[in-house]
Structure 1
Amino acid sequence: MQCRFYQQKKCFSCQWLDRPYHIQLAEKQNKLLQQLNQFKPTDVKEPFASHETAFRNKAKMAVLGTVEKPILGIQTENEMVDLCDCPLYSNSMQNILKLVRTFIRKQELVPYNINKRKGELKFVIITESKIDDKICFMIRFILKSHKFVDRINNSFKQLQEKIQNLLVVSINIQSNHAAILEGDEELVLTKSPFLPMTLNGVPLFIKPKSFFQTNTDVASNLYKTASDWIANLPIYSIWDLFCGVGGFGLSCVSQGIKKNIQLTGIEISPDAIECATKSANNLGFKQLIFKSLDATQYAIAEQKIPDLVLLNPPRRGAGKMLSQYLEQMSPNYIMYSSCNLSSLVEDLKWLNNYQITKSQLFDMFPHTAHMEVLILLKKKSAHENKKL
């Protein structure tokens, strides 16, 4: 991938950009093999590659510069860098970033100055989704206070007139002078807070504060692979822990023969659970339950053991307590999707009664050292444990 910001030494977010993409994949695969070797995996598949450009569905831009000349990008030690032309984003996303930049100037939304602690507009976050062939968008303005809420509320329709399928516009209030992207208060200005998207025929929804994978194409293949791996296994009940908006669990039960599976999705975020429930209702599945709870506390309190536990935790991993409890509870299968190889390995050390039957690297984050890894664990038989 060619990037003038990297070549001009203005942005180093893509630390591996000077390495050919096939070398990047090979290095990640070698690291994965080295880390998983101690667990003797049965099958480690070839990596699933990403597009090298235009793969990110979310742009998180600091708002810098002045009212007369706002900048959407990053601030380095030497300068403020406008990244509206960043090649990680599609042409449509780049165009929208420029339209938003113009909107900020025309509405005189004062950029927040970190050093002076003055100004109002801290960040702009734009999310792109796809429904069949239609591209839709969500825009969030992160403000220091309520000072410009009415101004944005009275003018955001100007953006909707210029941006086709701009479905969600919201304001987040983040009043702290700290390296925190968003605050607790979210003001949705549009009629609906839901940005829809379709992956593998499954309708999904994203609210402003919901998490979703930043690489739509790779996420789609990640979910499909998870569904394919369990399609012929004797699984009739699933816990989807850290379920987010429900992508993994809904993909796994949406196959025709799997409609009678009992799925329970657990996620701490109420917004994400609202999205997952909306998807389940749209699909018409009756045996799907989504609850806003702590995943570890739910698992430990629940008595009935499912056939499969899906794990898709944040970077810190599932953790010792949950991993140990799963080892003790002993479901027949565990499917673990991780964005942090180190925490995955630490969690696997607590799952001694399981064998990795399948593993695959999904390159969710090209040009960086980060990777997404999917593994399927099967409970060892009494004979296999005795051999150990």
Structure 2
Amino acid sequence: MVTVDAQTPECRYFVADLCRSCALIETPYAVQLRDKDHACQAMLGTHGPAAEAWLPPVAGGVTEFRNRAKLAVGGEVGAVTLGILDLSREANGRGIDLTDCLIHQPGLQRAIPRIAEFLNSTKLAPYSVPNRKGELKYAHLTEAPSGDLMVRFVVRSSGALDRIRALMPELREQLPQATVISVNLLPEHKAVLEGEHEELLYGSSLAMDLGSVSLHLQPQSFFQTNTKVAQSLYAQAAEWTAQLNPASLWDLYCGVGGFALFCADAGDESGMRDAVGIEVSEAAIRSATRSASDASIPVRFQAGDATAFALESSPESAPELVIVNPPRRGIGAELADWLEGSATRSVIYSSCNPKSLAQDLARMPSLRAVKARLFDMFPHTGHAEVMVLLERVASE
């Protein structure tokens, strides 16, 4: 990929029709951002705030903005490709190498060729989807602001795990910035990126230093793919929370605790707000608890289903503010109905799917959208992250 100017990068993979993941890459970025903002406003319609209450969108960048690389392993033994697989009938699962893809942060770009060299040295066969044979499925890399890396290999069997374990000294020498290394086992033939079992080979967690808070990512932890935009997202939530000044808050679908940790500090003589974070992943909760301890922020994190946690609580005892950051499906009818009937004064809803967001907002008419903002986590694509501030409409 060669940058022609600040707004229109020219991707050789796109031009050659090898990869179309960045479907909008030929559209000037300023136009992308404007069109995406208008599309989100239209999708929320009357359930969103008035046009003048939409804050200016947060740009995600043109190149070198992605902190995570999810690379399918293709090619042959000793000559792997890292990128995507062409699963058309004619290509028969051919690997398409995307080593020079510049949406990845520079540290990832430098690491990817070394990962390929290491996988070649294992003499393990890439997994063939059409033939259902082979071992190497994916390589996942995440880069922290410090330049440290988390490296994860997804393989088919324990034999491949043992082979990678035996070559760990070579990998650490080739890639000293890798502070966390693990292997994920995915024996099934499934269209998924990882399995349930993860074997940690080196390190424990990757520290994502975001200024006042450092979040600790374990191998299967979720974190936004664009670090700078994630910082803006947390900062906006913290700003809205400060304006609301709630005494208590819940962070539902809290992941590794970002929203709760950034919003718990009252910023005045009252100290910290009563804050609780709920997340189904126990590993994420352990990470969030560690971050809270490191920063001396007394948020109570506990593992559990966000909807079940709310439904088991009395609507009258709801906190003054609820922050939700659900997966693409949204919070769903049960939680939306509970929030609608609760005593919660305000909701901050961060969504990666404006369509499900609009559906959820429609179920909460007593919570009026007063502000919204687009955060462009995924430049050159139609995906959008939107955060909305909802406030309770006073009953007449």
| TM-score (ref. length: structure 1) | 0.95
Aligned to 1:35: 43
Find 2:73's aligned residue among 63, 67, 79: 63
Report the Cα distance in structure 1 between the residues aligned to 2:131 and 2:331, rounded to whole angstroms: 40
Once the two structures are aligned, what percentage of the paired residues are identical?
Answer: 39
The CA deviation string for residues 18-41 of structure 1, in whole angstroms up to 9 with x for no partner, is: 211111111111112212331361
Aligned to 1:12: 20
In the TM superposition, residue 154 of structure 1 has moved relative to its aligned partner by: 2.1
- Residue 28 of structure 1 aligns to which amino acid in structure 2? K
Q: Is the 8 A contact 2:265 2:273 kept in 1?
A: no
In the TM superposition, residue 75 of structure 1 has moved relative to its aligned partner by: 1.5
Aligned to 2:4: none
Seen in structure 2, the aligned counterparts of structure 1 residues 97 and 259 have a Cα distance that, compared at 3 Å, is farther
The CA deviation string for residues 21-71 of structure 1, in whole angstroms up to 9 with x for no partner, is: 111111111112212331361511111111111111111111111112111
Aligned to 2:31: 23
In the TM superposition, residue 255 of structure 1 has moved relative to its aligned partner by: 5.9
Structural RMSD (CA):
1.3
Is the partner of 1:366 in helix, strand or coil?
Answer: coil
The CA deviation string for residues 184-216 of structure 1, in whole angstroms up to 9 with x for no partner, is: 1110001x3211111132110101011110011
Aligned to 1:386: none
Find 1:126's aligned residue among 116, 141, 145: 141
Q: Is the 8 A contact 2:41 2:48 kept in 1?
A: no
In the TM superposition, residue 254 of structure 1 has moved relative to its aligned partner by: 4.0
Aligned length: 378
Decide which moves more: 154-163 or 244-253.
154-163
Task: State whether structure 2 residue 121 is matched by structure 1 residue 106.
Answer: yes
Report the Cα distance in structure 2 between the residues aligned to 1:289 and 1:342, rounded to whole angstroms: 31
The CA deviation string for residues 238-278 of structure 1, in whole angstroms up to 9 with x for no partner, is: 11000000111111124633742111100111111111111
Report the Cα distance in structure 1 between the residues aligned to 2:279 and 2:243, rounded to whole angstroms: 27
Find 2:275's aligned residue among 242, 259, 263: 263
Seen in structure 2, the aligned counterparts of structure 1 residues 40 and 187 have a Cα distance that, compared at 3 Å, is closer
Any gaps of 5 or more consecutive residues in structure 1? Answer: 384-388
Aligned to 2:5: none
Report the Cα distance in structure 2 between the residues aligned to 1:205 and 1:310, rounded to whole angstroms: 20
- Residue 138 of structure 1 aligns to which amino acid in structure 2? M
Runs of 4+ aligned residues of structure 1 deviating over 6 Å after TM superposition are none
Task: State whether structure 2 residue 347 is matched by structure 1 residue 334.
Answer: yes
Q: Is the 8 A contact 2:172 2:178 kept in 1?
A: yes
Task: State whether structure 2 residue 260 is matched by structure 1 residue 249.
Answer: yes
Paired residues for 1:1-388 under 5 Å: 1-39=9-47, 41-42=49-50, 43-76=53-86, 77=88, 78=91, 79-130=94-145, 134-190=146-202, 192-254=203-265, 256-257=267-268, 259-286=271-298, 288-303=299-314, 304-383=317-396
Q: Is the 8 A contact 1:353 1:380 kept in 2?
A: yes
In the TM superposition, residue 157 of structure 1 has moved relative to its aligned partner by: 2.7
In the TM superposition, residue 342 of structure 1 has moved relative to its aligned partner by: 0.3
In the TM superposition, residue 8 of structure 1 has moved relative to its aligned partner by: 0.8
Report the Cα distance in structure 1 between the residues aligned to 2:185 and 2:95, rounded to whole angstroms: 23
| TM-score (ref. length: structure 2) | 0.93
Report the Cα distance in structure 1 between the residues aligned to 2:114 and 2:95, rounded to whole angstroms: 19
Any gaps of 5 or more consecutive residues in structure 2? Answer: 1-8
- Residue 266 of structure 1 aligns to which amino acid in structure 2? I
In the TM superposition, residue 80 of structure 1 has moved relative to its aligned partner by: 2.4
Is the partner of 2:234 in helix, strand or coil?
Answer: helix
Is the partner of 1:364 in helix, strand or coil?
Answer: coil
Report the Cα distance in structure 2 between the residues aligned to 1:189 and 1:178, rounded to whole angstroms: 24
The CA deviation string for residues 90-122 of structure 1, in whole angstroms up to 9 with x for no partner, is: 232112110010001112122111111111111
Is the partner of 1:178 in helix, strand or coil?
Answer: coil
